A and B are shown apart, each in its own frame.
Chain A
Amino acid sequence: MVLFRGGWPAAVDEAAAPPWEVVAGVVGLFALHWIEFRLQQPGVLGVMRRAEGPVSRGFLSGVALLLILIPVTNVNPFIYFRF
């Protein structure tokens, strides 16, 4: 359990993320879950059907291929971004 009764902890080192970045990161992660939830709504299917075609296929194929090629360099055991 993390408590901040004594205020923010002192920075571990000069390159450590400032508190606002940590807070923004946590908020961003929850935002990703919210976006994922929104994309699973039935209305999104309709949008995808309208956009279906060679352009969208080329786009999605390209994105999928490039995402695979993005190097995995993060050695931290962080579960969210194991591409």
Chain B
Amino acid sequence: MSFSRLSPRVSALGRFLFGGMLALLVVDFGLRLIEVTPLWRILPVVQPILGQPDKDFGFESTPGGRGIWTTEHRARLQLNSLGLRDVERELAKPAGTFRIGLLGDSMVEAAQVSQQATFGAIAERRLRADGYNLELINLAIAGPSPIRQLWRLERRGYPLNLDLVIANSAASSFVSGKLLDDSENPAYVHTGNGQLAVGYGFRERFSQRHADDLIGRLFVALYQNSPLFRMLYLRSKEPLSVLLGLPSAQSASQRSVMGLPPPASEAARVACDNATAALEPMIHLWRDHRPELLWAAAARFLDDLGQSARTHGVRVVYAIRDIPLPPPDCPATSARADLLLAMDHEFTGRGIRLIDWSAVVAEVVGGPAEIPRLHGFGIHKGAGHLNYDGHRAWATALIRVLRPEVPLGTASQGSASASHPATDDTPVGKAAKP
């Protein structure tokens, strides 16, 4: 069709829209160019959405997905052909290899750093250098609900013929109510007769209802393959204040990081008060089994995890992080010990070994006061996901946890003195990338 046959106004409008379409193509091309060249380090990029709606899981990662992660810190992201944030792995376990699956949330998925810099990859390299014939496979997927880890284990972990699973969850994820919230992924819902059943309320979401039709598939294809479409989609979900860049849009977490710390004289008391307040709901849940519904969900989750692992002949170690570490002489110290005793009773009773992860990490880095520097990047250092120092420290902690779990037969004789790669040997106290 030629614009010259139309009235001048319609013709001008058509040409204007054509120019606009041209702009879309040029900007889309520009964004792609930035992603595939080193320009991604400094120029604006659009964060990838590495998954799609899934009727059983809520939101499942897409095998082969790739992109540049931009939240907190920039890193290249590449999912392998199994949909894991890991290097390529054979589905069939190599003979003589001890396979360990790392389950967890965004902290373990570690999108903020390169795959080689994740604590799982570092620990695998160090242990292999020590002669252990093992694979540490990262099965983690972002999301705060522990139940996602169980689903992930069943869908992605067991087909890999794992020998051991190490799960990692925040202590708060058990008290936040996420185990009972099926709006985004499967969860335990109250059936009314005092029983819990797995609920799939998320299937009512618009994206789920259209997951299998042409519109849904086209939408997913567009946001996964066009950075421009993805940008427009992500922008459309933001509140107006964020779009306009108003100061009120600044997140609470950012404000808290930028806030002044309490004076040194007050620091211990504030830390003690904070730890006491944070421990309270955890103690209610694990020791007193209150609130009832929350406890029923937590117990059901542990039952299901223990049963599932037993059925598949896999041992489970569960590392619970962020159980507050009170300063010395704080009365909450004994409360914490009580909590751990209660938790250990519940986990061990279901055949799961409990690890007090924050305590192990604190021991590695020289005390609880050192833990904040393992998190966050640049001006936001002190809070957030693990930075490079954090991954090195977690790798050391993971190795400490793993050594008694991995049978001696997987370490070849005479290789225990093998040296670690220089980059991994950097003491955790050394400066990380700003």
Chain A contacts to B: CB under 8 angstroms: 11-17, 21, 24-25, 28, 53-63, 65-67, 69-78, 80-81, 83
Contact = CB atoms under 8 A, between A and B. Distances in A.
B294 to A, nearest CB: 36
B20 interface: yes
B87 to A, nearest CB: 13
Given A59-B26, A71-B231, A75-B72, 6 more contacts: A21-B38, A53-B15, A54-B13, A58-B16, A72-B44, A73-B45
A71 B233 CA distance: 12
Interface in B40-57: 41-47
B117 to A, nearest CB: 5
Contacts of A13: 117, 388, 423, 432-433
A61 B42 contact: no
B379 A56 contact: no
A69 B166 CA distance: 41
B113 A15 contact: yes
Contacts of A70: 31, 44, 46, 231
B377 interface: yes
Given A53-B15, A62-B19, A62-B20, A73 B44 contact: yes
15 contacts: A14-B423, A17-B41, A54-B15, A55-B16, A57-B16, A59-B22, A59-B23, A59-B26, A61-B23, A62-B21, A63-B26, A66-B23, A70-B31, A73-B47, A74-B44
B426 to A, nearest CB: 8
Contacts of A24: 38
Nearest to B27: A66
Interface on chain B toward A: helix, strand, loop, or mixed SS?
helix
Contact of A61 (B20, B72, B234): B20
B16 A15 contact: no
B402 interface: no
B6 interface: no
Contact of B235 (A14, A17, A56, A69): A69
A12 B388 CA distance: 10
Contacts of A60: 19, 23
B22 A55 contact: yes
Interface of B: 11-24, 26-27, 31, 38-39, 41-47, 70-72, 74-76, 113-114, 116-117, 228, 231-232, 234-235, 245, 377-380, 388, 423, 431-434
A76 B378 contact: yes
A75 B15 contact: no
A12 B235 CA distance: 34
A53 B117 CA distance: 52
A59 to B, nearest CB: 4
Given A58-B15, A81-B42, A15 B379 contact: no
A73 B39 CA distance: 14
Given A12-B433, A55-B15, A69-B235, A81 B27 contact: no
Looking at A25, A57, A67, A76, the one whose CB has the most chain B CB atoms below 10 A away is A76
Contacts of B388: 13, 15
